[in-house]
Amino acid sequence: MGVVVMGVGICGSFPSSGGLSYRELIAKAAATAYEDAGLEPEQIDGAVSCEEDFISGYSISDEYVPDQLAMVRKPVYTITGDFLHGLSSAVMQIRTGRFKTLVVQSYCKASNIMTKDEIVHFALDPTYNRFGVSPHYLAGIEMQQFIDSSGHSAEDIAEIAAFNRSRAMANPLAPYGAKLTGDDVIASRPLATPVTELMFARPADAAVVIVIGNEEAAQEMANDPIYISGTGWGSGNSIIERRAHDISEGTLVAAKMAYEEAGISVPQNEVDIAYVSDLYAHRELMHMDALGLNTDFLPFINPDGGSQGMGDLMEANGGARFYDAVRQLRGNATGHQVVGAKTALLHGWRGIPTDSAAVVVLDAEGGDNE
């Protein structure tokens, strides 16, 4: 059964959204998505919420979601993962035939968190991995091992961060766009050697809401549908000491699954644009390797500026990339449109200390995969 993107909405991204509660962020994004889809909330069968209680700051945080989405007394369940994990789950729900339409939402209210580094630290194993150092030490280990094994240099990685932040200046939704050079990135404050401060995405606030449906719903209601031709997800070893730190095993597993479903053999030649997690600049190159993309493809990766430009939206990172991909495939990504883009590859990563990833393939012209 084919699954189609019917509508997309975003509120953000903001370094701080003091004038809006997280409920208001979600409500605004939902209103935009429903208008874009050309339907009313009562025409949607249920919802998937992507969020993590310990990030939100209280337990069962998804209980506050139905009101903003106008999904009261409808099925709502939570995926504690990146937005693309939740989207993949929603796609499976549509394919069961139980639901005709679903809404997927995620948000980040990072400005409510006093110290994001403490949240990252809390996610590390309390006995073996919570040292009295910056929790970004694991990113430093990864980057050093990646440099040693890949042939890339610290300067190459710095260029990734500079490139993404510079191109984000063309995206009106990207608050961290800045004209930078690789030298600027290398010279910035050390975060966890060899990682510097400008190699790391800064926190931001946003909410993303997407409406999906089966092909029947799309034919009846959608204004400008985009087709989901492949989804996949996977994780590397959860024990840090047993994990290779220069590859993303989770991305390898997720990509294989999504590519097989979408019928992609050589992604470098078969997709027009790609969105690759760049929460740390070295991770973009590491993820590209796992996705089968080489550096020749860099001009077509993260045209929105990625997380380096739009900020770290935690569980909503993949949603921001998804929103921009849909705009690209519709040809209305104002200011940073990639001309002729018809197929998009999306990758989401949950961030340190995980190696949990999801991959989605979108197609502007259809492609029904049973």
Question: What is the reported pLDDT for 218?
Answer: 84
Range 224-231 average pLDDT: 96
If we measure between CA atoms, which residue out of 288, 274, 333, 358 comes closest to residue 90?
A: 358
Q: Which residue has the higher pLDDT, 1 or 323?
A: 323
Q: State percent of the chain over pLDDT 90.
A: 85
Residue 271 in domain: no
Over residues 13-41, mean pLDDT: 94
Q: Check residue 365 and give its pLDDT.
A: 87
pTM for this structure?
A: 0.96
Question: Structure tokens of 286?
Answer: 């590491």
Is residue 284 packed enough to be buried (19+ CB in 10 Å), middle (13-18) or exposed (0-12)?
buried
Q: What is the pLDDT of residue 324?
A: 98
Residue 48 vs residues 8, 78, 88, 92, 194: alpha-carbon distances, Å: 14, 6, 10, 12, 38
Report the C-alpha gap between 366 and 3 in whole angstroms.
10
Q: Which domain holds residue 50?
A: 3-114+204-221
CATH code of 9's domain: 3.40.47.10
- The model's confidence at residue 367, banded by pLDDT at 50, 70 and 90, is low
What confidence tens digit (pLDDT) does each residue in 256-315 have? 999 999 999 999 999 999 999 999 999 999 999 999 999 999 999 999 999 999 999 999
Domain-located, residue 314: no
- The yes-or-no verdict on residue 62 having pLDDT over 80 is no
The reply to whether 99 falls in a domain is yes
Return d(Cα 34, Cα 308) in angstroms, integer: 28
User: For residue 62, is it within any domain?
Assistant: yes
Res 369: pLDDT: 47
> Is residue 282 domain-resident?
no
Is residue 327 helix, strand or coil?
Answer: helix
Across the range 192-216, mean pLDDT stands at 96
Report how far residue 166's alpha carbon sits from residue 142's, in angstroms, rounded to the nearest whole number.
25
pLDDT digits (tens, 9 = 90+) for 32-50: 999 999 999 999 999 999 9
Domains in the chain: how many in total? Answer: 1
Amino acid at residue number 253? V
- Residue 89 maps to a domain: yes
User: Tokens for 170?
Assistant: 């063309």
Q: Residue 163 domain-assigned?
A: no
- Indicate whether 155 pLDDT > 70: yes
Q: Note the pLDDT of residue 223.
A: 81
Maximum CA pair distance of the chain? Answer: 57
Question: Mean pLDDT over all residues of the chain?
Answer: 94
40 domain residue, yes or no: yes
Mean pLDDT of 320-349: 97
